[in-house]
Structure 1
Amino acid sequence: MAKAKYVYIFGNKKADGDGSMKALLGGKGANLAEMTRIGLPVPPGFTITTEVCTYYYANKRTYPKELQAQVEAGVANMEKILGKKFGDLNKPLLVAVRSGARDSMPGMMDTILNLGLNDQTVIALEKASGNPRFAWDCYRRFIQMYGDVVMGVQKRPGEDHEPFEIVIDQLKEELFPGQHHVEDTKIDAEGLKELVNRFKALVKDRTGKAFPNNPWDQLKGAVGAVFGSWMNDRAMVYRRKYGIPSEWGTAVNVQAMVFGNTGQNSGSGVAFTRDPASGEKVFYGEFLMNAQGEDVVAGVRTPEPVALLKNEQPKAFAELEKVRKTLESHFKDMQDFEFTIEDGQLFMLQTRNGKRTGLAAVRIAVEMVKEKLITWETAITRVPAEQLDQVLAPVFDRAAVKAAKVIAKGLPAGPGAASGRIYFNADRAVLAAEAKEKVLLVRVETSPEDLRGMIAAEGILTARGGVSSHAALVARQMGKVCVCGASALHVDYANKILIVDGQEFKEGDYLSIDGTLGEVYAGELKTAASEIVQVLVEKSLDAKDSATFRNFKQLMDWCAKATKLLVRTNADSPDQTANAIAFGASGIGLCRTEHMFFEGDRIDAMREMILAENTEDRKKALAKLLPYQREDFIGIFKELKGLPATIRFLDPPLHEFLPHEGSLIRDLSEKIGVTPEKIAKRVAELHEFNPMLGHRGCRLGIAYPEISEMQARAVFEAAVEVQKKGIKVKPEIMIPLVGFPKELQLQIDVVNRVAQEVAKEKKTKLNYLVGTMIEIPRAALVADDIAKDAQFFSFGTNDLTQTTLGMSRDDSGSFLPKYGELEIIKKNPFASIDQTGVGRLMQMAVELGRKTRPDIKLGICGEHGGDPDSVKFCHRIGLNYVSCSPFRVPVARLAAAQAALSEAKAAKTAPKKKKK
């Protein structure tokens, strides 16, 4: 029996793995192997597989017995290639230990650099390099990282900075009194030796343990810390946000160190083959001379644009340009890569598909098709559907910007416009956001510990760090507006103030940031619609020729070619309908007729109807509502121009239309001539302990059929009116909350009777469907019986989720976050369909409905219709359409196209069945 293989080597033109092995080697390990295979200069190393991570957590944080020997063989391979020895007192081999999940999780897990140093090997490194400052700089970095990541040196209450940074700042103050913002590179070898001693003392003070000297013990501790970081708080928060399963685990990459901090002939950088913020095809990124990679990513120094590397290191820059082209032509996607230059020699440390904004994702996808790098089908799959929200997001109003003053400039790291109250601490930012404040998180530089605050914030502003810093990387992925490296900012954490341009801003004051231009403004600026919304909704011709609009339109045209699942909209007015049609909606999937009763005098007529004591009085009040509702339907049908409209009859309980406070009751009494006492009595009669499960939906139409009669007449009279103008009308009348077939039959009888009356009165024919919402479990269980009468089903997944899970959409917020943390639920079931529970009921209803009525039309009209994962699920179970709010239509269209392409790909690769 073959031994399990847990360690895969790479480097020196030889690799055990390749880029297809991300599930086993993680993204970083797989791509290091792939870069090795295509001949790029990768320092040698090895990857410990994700299977070890799974084993580690399943076996009380222990390792497979075969692992140690395989790790030792991996180290020996590096030693052989480099002519160095791990722990040697002459030529010591130092290594970097990094995480590597299957999906990139920038900054969420841990890294340790310069491992293998101790009081003896640092002297050996000093002698071997002839550079004392470099050797002691590596040692202090190693103690800082290892002390933080492995030994757990923590901040104490009241400390806003990391403990090691506090020690560095204290030493700088002693060495350079009165000088602000002194860079670490100014500390000489003697100063770094002192820093090493202070760091060791800090470790002992905070942990009670001495810093470990044995390199093998260091390696064991580092590997354990990286595996352990898979379950740290920020990694779990990140995974929940992006739907990364915890069972995937992380790999660990152990790689020979190359040094960007040996002097001014060395450096480190992070670069992108295209601009990840705008998508422009330019060499984009940053570097720092005499620095290690963490300096660039952590944002502790503000780096230089990578274009300037041509002046510092022309040979290395020319090599990087070649690498950039090689990476894009090989991986056929925009790459984010890390590099180090050691004494003029280039090394590649990592590559991955780069995180990008929605704007960039669309542009890169469209332009790569033009460049013949990818097909249009691949382009559709390259844009995460939810990122289209960013493309439609508002920008600052031009007039407001013209009148405002720029108080600081930084690097444009996450495009868009954001205004909010400033907070200097992630926890306080979260609390403010929970209190419904718009928040800007302002930091000197962000760290992974700030993740919760970054999620809560509208935008992120930092005084230090560049476009490849942690803040920028995470902001781009989340679609957050971000400005980094605004050096004019002075953040005073202790006093909770920001000083900039001679002005002082307290925590809670408003600032505005433009992440496209990198500009910071005082106060709250007015926003305007994005270019796409300007063209499609506001009909502005100014933006029609913009590249943003052209790229968006091209992507949507490709989606139309690929998709099977249609996308309708939830719309209750002509304006909403027009907006959705402009975005490509194929009709209305939900028109909530009750929304038409709240405007102007309509609510008074509705209240008269509710307060009526007999059928005759109810009909009189309903007669006042009829022309209003008919007029609304006329406007909607005109905008649809022949596309179908699913119209839901009255759904909410009647008490929602009545006032409950004394003063409002008195106002209504004067308006409609009914005594306050009578109104109060009726309010009390209509009170329900659980209105969601009470007298609403079809139950209202059955108790008061005159309500359904009026609504049906409004629909059909409007249809006749619009048909006279030569416009086709396709109304689909939807009866809500049906659970028993007889409920639907009774309401269909009313609809058909009114349709016949109107057709006879107007001497015309009417083309319409009658169907129901599947929104309670019983309806799904007896869908075959309901389908005998229903011509269509529309899943009302909001209520279906509530009634299936026994959870209130409005009240479950108190425990759902905890359920997410404990992974009882993978996603909020009110945001994304609970596919194994609610989804199973839906699938059952689809199968039963089609068994009775093979041509039954099937759709979804709950808010889940705009969620990409839910859209893809609806495609898989065979629905005809989804419906969502107008501004979510492009998101749903893209998700539907992606689902169709995924299905087609699976069909191509599926094994063919043998003929009998």
Structure 2
Amino acid sequence: GIEPENGEGIRQKLEHAMERVKRAKGYKNDTDLTPDDLKKLSDEFKVIIKNTLRKDFPDDPQEQLWGGIGAVFQSWMGKRAVSYRKIEKIPQDWGTAVNVQAMVFGNTGNNSATGVAFTRNPATGEDMFFGEWLPNAQGEDVVAGIRTPNPVNKAGKTDDTRHLPSLEEAMNPVYKQLFAIEKKLEKHYKDMQDIEFTIEDGRLWMLQTRVGKRNGQAAIRMAVEMGKSKLITKEMALLRVKPEQIDELLHPSVDPIAEKNALELAKGLPAGPGGAIGKVVFTADEAQAWAEKGEKVILVRNETSPEDVHGMHAAQAILTSKGGMTSHAALVARGWGKCCIVGCSALHIELPKKEIHVNGRIVREGDWITLNGTKGRVYEGKLNLLPASPEDNPWYKELMKWADRSRTLKVRTNADTPNDATVARNFGAQGIGLCRTEHMFFGPDRIKAVREMILSETVDGREKALAKLLPFQKNDFLGIFKAMDGLPVTVRLLDPPLHEFLPHTDQELTELSSEMGVPFEQLKAKNGSLHEFNPMLGHRGCRLGVTFPEIYAMQVQAIMEAACELSKLKVKVVPEIMIPLVGHVNELVRMRNIVVSVAEEVQKKYGKKVPYTVGTMIELPRACVTSDEIATQADFYSFGTNDLTQTVYGLSRDDAGRFLPFYVESGILKEDPFISIDTDGVGVFMRIAVEKGRKVKKDLKMGICGEHGGDPKSIEFCHEIGLDYVSCSPFRVPIARFAAAHAAIREKKKK
């Protein structure tokens, strides 16, 4: 129960002593040690134990037994055990148990053996008895990898193990007995079993059986094949597969064999799953330029901003030293299905030198690194990646059909481009739950007009600049509406504060000054006037629409013109216009009037009626508690759970990464509220909003469009409180579909 610490632990010392004896005697295996060798080694072990633990090794068997039992209980708080529980989300207060059983020995001669086997292949899911065994050995020899084991049967042989005797060949009667038992065990437990066995003097003993661990691909195949064979029901088959195992099929992954031998540089938060390899670059422009030359790059930044999106898109993956799981880098990366690691605090980025200093090593621009975004690990060099192709997997397709038949919650996507929309639709999205219009403003062909609009001092000047933006916005919507033909598209009108669209350094302001013909001092003064102490709670969302109504008017015009033009071409457009950050019903009244006025004008101009709806994001506590008032003006609600979490907790998600992990580790919070909805706090406000809103409008459509929309726990809560849909990034759509099925099945079981 005492874990090795950098080679100083007791186990390490005992192993080193044994290795010294084996080297001196020229032995290869532990089993080569003679009784005399073992006797001398035992004496040496006692001395090491005395010196290290400052107490004698007990001779009394009862004392040894209780010492062993105590060691198991102590191991519950060992580093590896604690880490494993965090990864698997196992409560830290569960505790462990100890079984004491009589043991048989597989190392009494060549007619004895030991082994570990699985009733199905845990790597592929194939219905084939799979395992390993060792003659004249104890179980630990197989599990610990001290000796290279043999395949349990002929079918399990590979090119590397072709020459090794299988148990089927070496001890056929025992193998036949084992084969019959494994079939019986799987039939009884109705799941793939991981079994340990020992053969003592030709007699088979079963030591234990338990549910076997498996990867995503294997889990899906096993579930479908067991469901089809009626070993289990289809509902049970769906519950057998974890939503995150679906995720494994959607991204290339780092080859675990290559990873085992790789040099780990650092670790951070696993923000975007899958694996990626690329050359290190430090700016978005370099990422784009290198990628255009055919180079695979990984963009390394302290943090990212919307101005980096072109480089982020060009990169194979994104790595940041700051930020959390809902930081800009994390959100954008997940939306694109990109591998991403954030909050990697061990990275010290020297931008002028184009170097990363990490744990005593230097990584320079152009050096290859590998990211495992599923684990949050950064490795030196190029590791092998395993490709992802879920649609080629017949078991995946079948399981998703079963999931869609089981769920009641619809699944939409967050998408800002026709490409994102198409990807999501192919993954089974039933509409767009959030189309962010601000990302469209950052294109190089339109940012100038945006800045002209911001810098203008008059309504007339702003309208002239917005007129330049109108065709761009309309074109954006044409592409998205076309891609989602027949499905609803929720467009959020401009949300972020205006200062985000302006440059911040004097050098950038000087360049903009000469480009626009505006004096530098005037630009600097305007920039300063837009500065806010707390922009997240400042002049943004519908507050922009109230003070600059012409911005929202232009956006609605673009939406409705695109809808009318496509409608004439027989494309079915279902626009849902969403007003962000409403805290008071009067804000929504004013914004709704603008939307309706512009929409009616456009429809009159085109001579075409296109049904549309006007709704709001519910992302402020006041909106939740006055939901009955807001519902009188809204056709739908969409919970913006990122901002609702920030405003309920009173914390900034961009700064929370510094202390929230400690809150979770120390047990103050069970989990990060930006990853899974805090049902006891944020969730209470959501329940209030649902209940009050539906008292006014029984069929008020409600969904969620924050990043929580792709989190299985949050999806279960959304199902529970009666939302109509969840919306998540395109690459999380299959996971959300699957989690929604889980939620419906669990509710049915409870009833």
Name the TM tier (shorter chain): 0.7 to 0.9
Q: Which amino acid aligns with 2:79?
A: D
Letter of the 2:135 partner, please give it. Answer: M
Q: Report how far residue 153 of structure 1 moved.
A: 7.3
Residue range with higher mean Cα deviation, 158-167 or 646-655: 158-167
Residues 1:190 and 2:48 aligned together: no
Shift of 1:160: 12
The equivalent of 1:445 in structure 2 is: none
1:420 and 1:270 map into 2 onto residues whose CA distance is: 21
Which deviations, in whole Å up to 9, do the C-alpha atoms of 1:219-275 show, x marking residues without a partner? 333323323332333222222222222333222211111112222222221111111
Aligned with residue 234 of structure 2, among 352, 363, 376: 376
- What residue in structure 2 maps to residue 578 of structure 1? 422
Contact 2:677–2:683 (Cα < 8 Å) also in 1 = yes
Out of 856, 879, 886, which is 2:700 matched to? 856
Partner of 2:118: 272
* 1:166 equivalent in alignment to 2:16: yes
- Give the partner amino acid of 2:113: G
Alignment partners' CA distance in 2, 1:652 and 1:513: 31
What is the distance in 1 between the residues matched to 2:92 and 2:579? 42
Q: Distance in 2 between matches of 1:258 and 1:667?
A: 80
Q: Is the 8 A contact 2:253 2:275 kept in 1?
A: no
- Shift, 1:526, TM fit: 7.9
In 1, Cα distance between the equivalents of 2:396 and 2:526? 53
Alignment TM-score, normalising by the size of structure 1: 0.67
> 1:421 touches 1:437 (CA, 8 Å); kept in 2?
no
Q: Cα 1:433–1:692, aligned 2, differ >3 Å: closer, same or farther?
A: closer
Q: Contact 1:422–1:439 (CA<8 Å) still a contact in 2?
A: no
1:51-90 matches, within 5 Å, as: none
Q: Which residue of 2 aligns with 1:251?
A: 97
Counterpart residue type for residue 168 of structure 1: M
Distance 1:422 1:577, change over 3 A: same
After superposition, the Cα gap between the structure-2 partners of 1:510 and 1:286, relative to the gap in structure 1 and judged at 3 Å, is: farther
Call closer, same or farther: CA 1:510–1:651 in 2, change over 3 Å. closer
The residue aligned with 2:218 is: 360
1:530 aligns to what? 388
Structure 2 residue aligned with 1:324? 182
Deviation at 1:512, TM superposition (A): 8.0
Shift of 1:743: 1.1
Q: 1:161 to 1:572 in 2, by over 3 A?
A: farther
Counterpart Cα distance in 2 of 1:642 and 1:420: 48
1:250 alignment partner, SS class:
coil
Q: Deviations over 1:100-156 (max 9, x none)?
A: xxxxxxxxxxxxxxxxxxxxxxxxxxxxxxxxxxxxxxxxxxxxxxxxx2xx47546
Q: Do the aligned partners of residues 522 and 679 (structure 1) sit closer, same or farther apart at CA in structure 2, a change above 3 Å counting?
A: closer
3-state secondary structure, aligned to 1:254: coil
- Which secondary structure state, in structure 2, belongs to the residue aligned with residue 764 of structure 1? coil
**Counterpart position of 2:662:** 818
Aligned to 2:51: 205
- Give, in angstroms, the shift of residue 816 of structure 1: 1.9
What is the SS of the residue equivalent to 2:127? Answer: coil
> Which residue is equivalent to 2:285?
none
2:137 match: secondary structure? coil
Cα distance change on mapping 1:438 and 1:584 into 2, 3 Å? closer
Question: Normalization by structure 2: what TM-score?
Answer: 0.82
Counterpart AA for 1:376: K
Contact kept? 2:195, 2:210, Cα under 8 Å: yes
Q: 1:513 Cα deviation (Å)?
A: 12
Q: Quote how far apart the aligned CAs of 1:673 are.
A: 2.2
Shift of 1:861: 0.4
Match 2:571 to one of 720, 727, 741: 727
TM-fit CA distance, 1:511: 8.7
In 2, Cα distance between the equivalents of 1:437 and 1:296?
Answer: 30
Structure 2: tracts of 5 or more residues without a match: 154-165, 278-315, 317-338, 340-360, 373-378
The separation in 1 between residues aligned to 2:128 and 2:501, in whole angstroms, is 58
Matched, 1:337 2:198: no
Q: Distance in 2 between matches of 1:706 and 1:827?
A: 42
Query: Higher relative contact order by CA 8 Å / sep ≥ 6: 1 or 2?
Result: 2
Structure 1's 528 and 247: CA in aligned 2 closer, same or farther, altered over 3 A? closer
Within 2, Cα distance between the matches of 1:574 and 1:800? Answer: 28
How far apart in 2 are the matches of 1:356 and 1:156? 30
Q: In structure 2, do the counterparts of structure 1 residues 631 and 878 end up closer, same or farther at CA, with 3 Å as the change threshold?
A: same
The corresponding residue for 2:348 is none
In the other structure, the counterpart of 1:237 is 83
Q: Cα distance 1:886–1:368, how it changes in 2: closer, same or farther (>3 A)?
A: same
Give CA-to-partner distance per residue, 1:372-415, whole Å, 9 cap, x none.
Answer: 2122222211110111111112269xxxxxxxxxxxxxxx8x59
Provide, for residues 658-710 of structure 1, a one-character-per-residue CA deviation record: whole Å limited to 9, x for no partner. 00112222222233222222221111111111111111111111110001101
Partner of 2:719: 875
1:699 aligns with 2:578: no
User: How do 1:590-629 and structure 2 match up within 5 A?
Assistant: 590-629=434-473
Cα contact 1:572–1:596 (8 A) shared by 2: yes
Offset of residue 429 of structure 1 = 4.5
Structure 2 residue aligned with 1:285: 131
Amino acid at match of 1:704: F
Given the alignment of the two structures, is residue 671 of structure 1 paired with residue 538 of structure 2, yes or no? Answer: no
Alignment pair present for 1:560 and 2:410: no
Which residue is 2:208 aligned to? Answer: 350
Show structure 1 runs of 5+ residues with no match.
1-148, 397-411, 441-457, 459-480, 482-505, 515-520, 536-545, 908-916
Q: Are residues 335 and 157 of structure 1, via their aligned partners in 2, closer, same or farther at CA, if it must alter by over 3 Å?
A: closer
Following superposition, the deviation at residue 195 of structure 1 comes to 1.4
Instruction: Tell me: CA distance 1:901–1:432, structure 2 relative to 1, closer, same or farther (3 Å).
Output: closer
Cα distance change on mapping 1:526 and 1:655 into 2, 3 Å:
farther
> Aligned partner of 1:820: which letter?
V
**Is 2:146 the partner of 1:306?**
no
* CA distance in 2: counterparts of 1:420 and 1:318, whole angstroms: 35
Given that residues 710 and 728 in structure 2 are in contact (C-alpha distance below 8 angstroms), is that contact kept between their aligned partners in structure 1?
A: yes
Structure 1 contact 273–283 (Cα < 8 Å) conserved:
yes
Distance 1:878 1:684 in 2: 45
**Does the 8 Å CA contact 2:620/2:643 hold for their aligned counterparts?**
yes
Name the Cα RMSD after superposition: 2.9
- Give the count of matched residue pairs: 648
Matching residue within 685, 707, 727 for 1:841: 685
Displacement of 1:600 after TM fit?
2.1
SS state at 2:550 partner: helix
> Does structure 2 retain, via aligned residues, the 8 Å contact 1:266–1:344?
yes
Going from structure 1 to structure 2, the CA distance change for 1:432 and 1:305 (only over 3 Å counts) comes to same
Match of 2:62 among 203, 208, 216: 216
Cα deviation code 1:746-795 (max 9, x no counterpart) = 11111011111111111121211111111121211211111111111111
2-side partners of 1:723 and 1:555: how far apart?
36
> CA offsets, 1:294-338, max 9 Å, x none?
222222222112211112221221111111211121111111111
C-alpha distance 160-698 of structure 1, shift in aligned 2 (>3 A): farther
One-letter code of the match for 1:422?
Answer: A
Instruction: Specify the alignment match of 1:643 in structure 2.
Output: 487
Q: Give the 3-state SS of the residue equivalent to 2:196 in structure 1.
A: strand
Equivalent residue of 2:62, what SS? helix
The separation in 1 between residues aligned to 2:742 and 2:611, in whole angstroms, is: 33
Deviations 1:321-365 (A, max 9, x none): 111211121111111111111111112222122111111111111
CA contact (8 A) 1:420 1:437 kept: no
Provide the secondary structure at the position in 2 that maps to 1:638. helix
| Structure 2 CA distance for partners of 1:219 and 1:900, relative to 1, 3 Å | same
* Contact residue 415 and residue 730 of structure 2 kept, 8 A: yes
Could you tell me how far 1:838 is from its partner in structure 2? Answer: 1.2
**1:811-847 superposed Cα distances (whole Å, 9 cap, x missing partner):** 2222222222211112221111112111121112111
CA distance in 1: counterparts of 2:102 and 2:712, whole angstroms: 42
- Supply the distance in 1 between the matched residues of 2:141 and 2:648 (Cα, whole angstroms): 51
